[in-house]
Amino acid sequence: MLDFPQRASPNYEGRLDTMVSDLLQPRDGIPPLLSTPGEFTAAADLLASGTGPFAIDTERASGFRYDDRAFLIQIRRRGSGTLLFDPEQFRPELTQALKPVLNGQEWIIHAASTDLPSLAWLDLHPGLLFDTELAGRLAGFDHVNLAAMVEQIFDLHLLKGHGSEDWSKRPLPESWLNYAALDVEMLLELADVMAEILDQQGKLPWAEQEFVHIVDQFATMTEPSETSWQDLKGLSTLKRPDQLVVAREMWLERDSFAASRDLAPGKVLSNKVIVEVARVLPRTPAELAQVKGFPGRSQGATKRWFRIITRALKSPRRNWPKPQQRKDGIPDRRAWASYYPEEHEVLQEIRALIDDLAADINVPGENILQPSTLRVAVWMAKHTGEIHNAETLNAVLRDYGARQWQIDQTFPILSANLLKL
């Protein structure tokens, strides 16, 4: 078990005990946006002179740009204040400046799994992590977005409204920078309080296991994961090779076009439209234009995409893809009720018991055990017979990423319902 440092009780002068106060600006004012190698180096020195963990957040533009890279990085540390970094033009230089200061240290992030990939692409990795959003889930908070948690704990109302902006835009409006700085304004204090709450509830060791798991997930990541047309959401609804070949060729064309122009693929054509076009296989440009969501008003787009559909269907049939089985051999969850009723019944019974457990310990059921891991356990116990005793059940849970606290909590339920005791 890693030794997480004890945190002092928070002391924030702006807290009001009887009413909510608006937190409209950072306590030290809006920091300047740092965008040059020289500024990065000076800022790294300032961060190194501070003490304690680093509160970190990123702003990305995945709804506008091809990937989910960070276009703004916010870092706050006691003794250093809040610093805002613009990485786009000098990413290697930013890494060179920040890596010696940040890597291997404790980071505090809200919803870390959304921010860590873009930081990992810059070769920035935490040593320890405290995820305030996950802490809120484990502590039983009804609402775990940052603003709700800050308001509940500190009686402070955070300024909202710019989270879904195009953060690749330059120059960034001052109101956006203000919003971004506020995102890390209270993270250090929030982590202090959440650690105390979890400790009082006896859940701090659970949280520590979760945080280690998250760090490990991104520890070796240095670049975006490769995507494939087989990752297309909704692809499992397409059953015929002619549908699949159209989906594949449309996805490949969209990906190439979006990458060449640094556009979010969904801005070119949504996943839903690609799947629907592949499902109906329009026979004419006019039929294509009528597909819901397709930009049918653009004759150029209609002709272009219809050519891709035609080309796909005229390609050699020996090269057409076939419906893919899941790599783990477990059927899609939507098929269980119809094709595997016995396994489905057991799954539903265990889900109900885990929901009861969730209510008892005040933790969301999906945080007690991932639904996908539960399906694996049920399938391997009731269908394939690969789980046949306590040792194999334990091993499967570990192999599929369950943490020890999750196994401790769910093992009595799983063993009673999956094993012949």
Tens of pLDDT, residues 328-378: 678 888 889 999 999 999 999 999 999 999 999 999 999 999 999 999 999
What Å distances lie between residue 396 and 144, 305, 378, 389, CA to CA?
Answer: 30, 45, 11, 11
pLDDT at 335: 86
Token representation of residue 320:
């057409």
pLDDT at 277: 97
Classified by CATH at the fold level, domain 21-218 comes out as Nucleotidyltransferase; domain 5 (3.30.420)
| Cβ-based neighbours of 119, under 8 Å, separated by 6 or more | 56, 58, 70, 73, 125
Question: What is the rounded CA–CA span in Å between residue 128 and residue 3?
Answer: 9
pLDDT at 326: 61
> Domain 229-319, what architecture?
Orthogonal Bundle (1.10)
- Residue 261 burial (C-beta neighbours within 10 Å; 0-12, 13-18, 19+): exposed
**pLDDT < 50: residue spans in the chain:** 1-17
At 74, is the secondary structure helix, strand, or coil? Answer: strand
pTM of the model: 0.91
Is the distance from CB of 75 to CB of 47 less than 8 angstroms?
Answer: yes
Domain boundaries, the chain: 21-218, 229-319, 333-418
Question: What is the rounded CA–CA span in Å between residue 31 and residue 180?
Answer: 10
Cross-strand partners of 78: 51
| Domain covering 333-418 assigned CATH 1.10.150.80 in the classification | yes
Tell me the pLDDT of the chain averaged across its residues: 93
Domains 229-319 and 333-418 share a fold: yes
What Å distances lie between residue 135 and 140, 150, 183, 209, 358, CA to CA?
Answer: 9, 13, 17, 11, 15
